[in-house]
Chain A
């Protein structure tokens, strides 16, 4: 088992390396850099930019070095936990980001748990009651969840939450707690806000999971061992619980790999619409102002989150299924 986990962690290294190269290329692609747009913006406003300071920052962050060296500076800094400098906020990225990264992780984790809690019973019901009205209805509802754009759902829910519950659901916490250390009150405030984005982001992922679970469970239910178990007189509930469900559970866990990126995508858009204190709104702002270290760190962080999520699901899968644990990890 340990061997498997070790192998799995090792294969993450080249993946992360490639991702970092890709992210770096993307943030380097736009012509010009932050300072050029900053200086011209200042000129347009009729103000003098502090050229000495800019020169110093350029020097310090090696803007004039060749790209390869800049890449290694950036990637090396990240390895040491230094995410560079946000030129727009004039602060190290670590300080700008604050709890945003943690809130993003919390939000994503909660969303996955919500998705599971919803998709699991629905998937089982759909598979065991195939072609019933309930199955059709739930399938259709799930598809509708995929089809309705997240941001529209967010807006409409914002409106109805305002009317029905009288709560303003933009943001992730009441404004007075922003930037404060975590206290019980702040935690409660977050808790009372976070469920709405969780529901919104969860809808799309739930549909995908229900689909996978239903298809796999249906495959398993037709296998001969199920027929045998039933013929021997096992009660239906026990038949389901003891064999096919355990097999289908594998797909349920491994499906995280394909659902997590979509979920994080949805989370970003939803976060922008609801102006949550996660990475979304800041990422889009950073991209627009070419604040490259900030944007790059966010992109890298989101990709890292996905890779870690997939890693966790793979390890969980290995725990669940001895075939994966014992069969060499490379065979896949």
Chain B
């Protein structure tokens, strides 16, 4: 052994023969791999999660949506009042702000009581805060009686007004119903209608797009034309036409299901296109050819080898179609051809603020538009994040 291994030989000098005297470890390469490249070994799902996590806004949006969806499980507890509780002495009350200090002393969260004067000229109800009435909010308390999930009678609420007092944090409507409570209950319908609609268009899209993409031929031709047609008709007029078909005699629940079907029926086209184009490109992949050569049937090839390849992509596309459905339902209900009371969705709540006069006099009736905007934004951000994450190798 001539010279140390770290030293280059002199130019022109003869190269020495070097053998490392370190003990031989056959697993060395793998150890090195796990040290520097955890990416090389991580599963696809893990990679997607890492990529998704980097998209900060998408994570925040995802958490926000999780909270929203969790809230519809316990709407009865979260809402201070019931959906249909009428406070006939407090019609069109403006929102009551929550205070912490009264006369410079800390009291904890409370609202001031309200006194109402009827303006005899305009016949408008004018509410003023009455500083003498300090109504402390109660937490984990018993208030309006309700049937939890329509089954278990209970009176437990997260927060209630003081005994004999009121708490209208977002004001009341023309029947004296608490807007905040109605928004919380409305989430049940507005949030689920998009999910059911998407579930339906998901199934339709995968089946139709799958057959079209894998089989091709005349079926593909026909579906392509049909999709083109459906996509070239403006969706809201078509939804309007279909919603107008729903007979007036149907019960509100049936109407809800009908609207879901209508939303889903026209929305599968985007998904079907995505499935088809993905299938067409995946069909040419080597691993699919390998599976076929090993004798796998088409069902197994599609289900086991191709669907996992584009499922993540599909979920991202589906996420991006939910906001359209939520907005569609809101618009239909607002126009009076969607859902009908007593079913309460955010669109139904917005029908209350249908005229300019209402906006001028009782602007708090527009609060239900806020959750609509937030949820639609959140779904957009989440969908963007998912779409980036769906292709983690990029």
Contact = CB atoms under 8 A, between A and B. Distances in A.
Given A14-B225, A147-B376, A152 B232 contact: no
Interface string B325-349: 0010011001101000000000000
Interface stretch (A24-32, A117-125, A173-181, A190-198): A24-32
Could you tell me the dominant secondary structure of chain B's interface residues? Answer: helix
B376 A146 contact: yes
B141 interface: no
A266 to B, nearest CB: 7
Contacts of A148: 369, 373
Interface in A118-144: 143-144
A238 B233 CA distance: 40
A303 B323 CA distance: 23
Interface stretch (B104-112, B162-170, B202-210, B236-244): B236-244
B234 A287 contact: no
Contacts of B380: 143, 146-147
Given A143-B377, A147-B380, A151-B334, A299 B237 contact: yes
Interface residues of A, number: 47
A245 interface: no
A19 B233 CA distance: 8
B323 A147 contact: yes
A15 B225 contact: yes
A26 B241 contact: yes
Interface string A235-278: 00000000000000000000001100110111011001000000
Interface in B227-269: 228-238, 240-242, 244-245, 247
B241 A287 contact: yes
B356 A265 contact: no
A283 interface: yes
Could you tell me the dominant secondary structure of chain A's interface residues? Answer: helix
Contact of B233 (A22, A31, A149, A269): A22
Nearest to A32: B247
Nearest to A307: B232
Interface string A92-123: 00000000000000000000000000000000
Contacts of A18: 225-226, 229
B245 A29 contact: yes
23 contacts: A18-B229, A19-B229, A22-B230, A26-B238, A26-B241, A31-B247, A143-B380, A146-B380, A147-B372, A147-B373, A149-B334, A149-B372, A151-B350, A155-B353, A156-B359, A158-B359, A265-B236, A268-B234, A284-B335, A287-B241, A287-B244, A299-B237, A302-B234
Interface of B: 225-226, 228-238, 240-242, 244-245, 247, 323, 327, 330-331, 334-335, 337, 350, 353-356, 359-360, 366, 369, 372-374, 376-377, 380-381
